[in-house]
Amino acid sequence: MQTNASPPYTSLVAVGDSFTEGMSDLLPDGTYRGWADLLAARMAARTPGFRYANLAVRGKLIGQIVDEQVGLAAAMGADVITLVGGLNDTLRPKCDMGRVRGLLEEAVERLAPACKQLVLMRSPGRRGPVLERFRPRMEELFACVDELAARHGALVVDLYGAASLGDPRLWDVDRLHLTAEGHRRVAEAVWQGLGHEPEDPHWQAPMPATLPPGWLTRRVTDVRFARRHLLPWIGRRLTGRSSGDGRPAKRPELLPFEDPAGARRDPLDSAS
């Protein structure tokens, strides 16, 4: 467990899909920030010369992550590597979970020896009927994550078990990606998992209760969600297309960390 008195980590590489790219934590310039950028900002504030790369690209399946990101990440020699992948596979109409487990195992076996600390996650799960049919696959994926972490000495950050992250108010209108506040809580979870003193000891605490929206508001919201997000998402799943096709990583090189424009506010501001 790392403490303030111990040598700090000097570099971070993030590997994965849209969750790690930072959707839907939108910055004023139209780019995404997300939990990995927030985590890097915290680490850089305490470690001069801190370096950071984010190889994650939205829509990537675990096979694409292995082919396109894992080798690059392993070669960078970073102190910390985060790997979150496989969830997009579980949300496909057809999913070979044996293949997903095998690819995840390959990724962990290549990354664990290449860094001081490999970080895996049990991804957060929003409550609602759309994802219920996929939940058994998700939980099978998380069981594999736990087993691989125990075997290779990786850290597992359990976001799936955090009730606060199941709150619909922490999810964007597409119901697939966290809001800025959701990403802030994830950054806090990883920060604490790496052994740092908590900046927000209550990140798992549920948000204050509010009156639920009325029936008509919920129905209008559901129709808008289906038209703008669900139907296009289903279309991409059925045709094998991805929102990340042809998109490069936002931070492809391990370089000294600099905040993107508009991302310089204190990560805890949104919690106040």
Assigned domain for 235 exists: no
Q: Report how far residue 8's alpha carbon sits from residue 224's, in angstroms, rounded to the nearest whole number.
A: 46
Assigned domain for 233 exists: no
Assigned domain for 71 exists: yes
Assigned domain for 221 exists: no
Between the alpha carbon of residue 46 and those of residues 114, 165, 254, the distances in Å are 23, 27, 18
Assigned domain for 151 exists: yes
Mean pLDDT value of segment 70-76: 98
Assigned domain for 225 exists: no
Please tell me the pTM assigned to this model: 0.83
Q: Report how far residue 12's alpha carbon sits from residue 80's, in angstroms, rounded to the nearest whole number.
A: 5
> Higher pLDDT residue, 38 or 5?
38
Q: What is the pLDDT of residue 45?
A: 94
Assigned domain for 92 exists: yes
For residue range 79-121, list pLDDT tens digits in order. Answer: 999 999 999 999 888 899 999 999 999 999 999 999 999 999 9
The pLDDT-based confidence of 234 (bands split at 50, 70, 90) is: low
Alpha carbon 232 to chain centroid distance?
A: 22
Q: Report how far residue 10's alpha carbon sits from residue 40's, in angstroms, rounded to the nearest whole number.
A: 10
> Higher pLDDT residue, 7 or 76?
76
Q: b vs e for 94-117, b when ≥16 Cβ sit within 10 Å of the residue's Cβ?
A: ebeeeebbebbeebbebbbebbeb
Assigned domain for 105 exists: yes
Residue 95 structural domain: 11-212+248-261
User: DSSP state, 3?
Assistant: -
Mean pLDDT value of segment 172-185: 86
Question: Residue 132: helix, strand or coil by DSSP?
Answer: helix
CATH number at residue 116: 3.40.50.1110
Residue among 22, 23, 15, 58 at smallest CA distance from 41 = 22
Residue 242 clears pLDDT 80, i.e. is over it: no
**How many domains is the chain built from?**
1
Q: What is the pLDDT of residue 261?
A: 44
> Higher pLDDT residue, 235 or 134?
134
Q: Provide the strand spans (E) within the chain.
A: 11-16, 51-54, 80-84, 117-122, 155-158, 251-256
User: In which residue are the tokens 């289906």 written?
Assistant: 226
Residue 191 clears pLDDT 50, i.e. is over it: yes
* Residues comprising the chain, all counted: 272
**The two three-digit tokens of residue 123, written as one number:** 């991804």
Between the alpha carbon of residue 175 and those of residues 167, 225, 230, 271, the distances in Å are 11, 8, 9, 21
Q: What is the pLDDT of residue 177?
A: 87
Mean pLDDT value of segment 44-54: 96
